[in-house]
Amino acid sequence: MISVSVVGASGYSGIELVKILVRHPGVRIDRLFANSSAGKHLADVAPLFGKTVDIVLEPYSIDKISESDLVFIALPSGEAMNLVPAMLSAGKRVIDLGGDFRLQDTSLYERYYKRTHSASALLKQSVYGLPEWNYSHIQSASLIANPGCYPTSAILPLAPLLKEGLIESNGIAVSSLSGVSGAGRSASVEMSFGEVNESVRAYKVGTHQHIPEIKSVLESFSHTQVKLTFVPHLLPITRGIYTSTYATLANPVDEQIILAVYEKYYASAPFVRYSATAIPEIKNVVYTNFIDIGFRINPEEGQLILLSAIDNLIKGAAGQAVQNMNIMFGFNETEGL
């Protein structure tokens, strides 16, 4: 049994984390922190916890996590770097669901996140928490950078094909559509459902903070330079991400070759489902930690079309964080999920 705390427990990802943690047989929730809702019971903020979780939300301070083996940080990017140094100094293991420790290059962080990184000395210590690719490093990590939701949906389909040289590393185009919960609970008016409903639109075109994450992680896994375009869009739904990726084939292939590559890398990955026939749909992955991957080959154009779907709050955030926790502490990877 391990003791865990959640900083940012009243946000979308924080609430999803608590939902998973309360049913995990190997976990005891120590403290839940939410500065803006401090003093309220969790059920006052999220009524679904009524008569099941009787915990009062608290303002965060380092002394309050003395009994915690692990701390989840479910705060907007820019917050974790102010908290993590003291947590690590206190001997705590940390999983950050924000973007502060995903990029090893501080210049990229400052360019795309528009702020100075105050804990850059810890970047080399952080482990990118994509279990299907970094399992052994996650086991011994003290600081996990939980992947972004868009990057999870793009990297998992692409990485095996790039590593095996089946697709060209230049000219990759990634188009992703996300439900509005991806913007967080305190999102701006333009990200609200009332503004998005009955419409679809792109946003942060060419400037989205997940561009360098997708590119740098793919380069790290495949050991090749990658050039790609990433365009995110908002969908008039609450949760889910649908990603379509277009790549040029390095050589002619058939479906069995693609499937064999996915089998090589993901046969033992409990949350990766892939098919040459089924087209992924958001409705089949919401409220789960699965990613569904499909593909189509266009032999006339020498092109491969990849399709993937995830729940942005589960596999794209809280579920993947718990998957990382399970690996760190020796639980079954699927426990609680």
**154 and 294 within one domain:** yes
Is 72 a catalytic site residue?
no
pLDDT in tens, the chain (337 residues): 999 999 999 999 999 999 999 999 999 999 999 988 888 999 999 999 988 888 999 999 999 999 999 999 999 999 999 999 999 999 999 999 999 999 999 999 999 999 999 999 999 999 999 999 999 999 999 999 999 999 999 999 999 999 999 999 999 999 999 998 866 545 556 656 667 788 999 999 999 999 999 999 999 999 999 999 999 999 999 999 999 999 999 999 999 999 999 999 999 999 999 999 999 999 999 999 999 999 999 999 999 999 999 999 999 999 999 999 999 999 999 999 9
- Structure token digits, residue 319: 């579920």
**62 and 20 within one domain:** yes
**171 and 88 within one domain:** no
pLDDT value at residue 313: 97
Residue 34 counted as domain residue:
yes
Which residue of the set 149, 155, 226, 253 is catalytic?
Answer: 149
Residue 335 counted as domain residue:
no
Helices (H) then strands (E): counts for the chain: 10, 13
CA 318/CA 315 separation, integer angstroms: 7
Q: Give the H or E element holding residue 7.
A: strand 2-7
User: Side chain identity at 262, as an amino acid letter?
Assistant: Y
Using CA of residue 112, residue 115, residue 116, residue 121, what is the dihedral sign?
negative
CA 325/CA 1 separation, integer angstroms: 12
Strands of the 303-310 sheet, one edge to the other: 201-202, 228-234, 172-178, 241-248, 303-310, 291-298, 272-275
By the 10 Å C-beta count (0-12 exposed, 13-18 middle, 19+ buried), 316 is classed as buried
Residue 70 counted as domain residue:
yes
Place of tokens 């360019």: 111
Query: How would DSSP label each residue in 34-91?
Result: -GGGTTSBHHHH-GGGTTT---B-B---GGGGTT-SEEEE-S-TTSHHHHHHHHHHTT
Phi, psi of 179 (to 5 degrees): -70, 160
- Structure token digits, residue 159: 């990485």
Residue 117 counted as domain residue:
yes
Query: How would DSSP label each residue in 113-152?
Result: H-S--S-GGGGGG-EE--HHHHHHHHHT-SEEEPPPHHHH
**73 and 129 within one domain:** yes
Say how many domains are in the chain. 2
**171 and 303 within one domain:** yes
CATH number, position 104 = 3.40.50.720
**165 and 240 within one domain:** yes
- Structure token digits, residue 330: 């020796």
**160 and 66 within one domain:** no
- Structure token digits, residue 94: 């940390």
CATH number, position 218 = 3.30.360.10
User: Side chain identity at 187, as an amino acid letter?
Assistant: A
Residue 74 counted as domain residue:
yes
Residue 336 counted as domain residue:
no
**139 and 179 within one domain:** no
**153 and 142 within one domain:** no
- 230 to each of 50, 149, 174, 308, how far by Cα in Å? 41, 13, 5, 15
Cβ pair 157, 245 in contact under 8 A? yes
Residue range 179-230, pLDDT digits in tens: 988 665 455 566 566 677 889 999 999 999 999 999 999 999 999 999 999 9
Residue 334 counted as domain residue:
no
Q: Which domain holds residue 324?
A: 2-147+316-328
pLDDT value at residue 36: 85
pLDDT value at residue 181: 81
**205 and 176 within one domain:** yes
Residue 333 counted as domain residue:
no
**239 and 188 within one domain:** yes
**110 and 188 within one domain:** no
Any long-range contacts for 120-124 (C-beta under 8 Å, 24+ apart)? 122/81, 122/84, 122/85, 122/88
Cβ pair 100, 45 in contact under 8 A? no
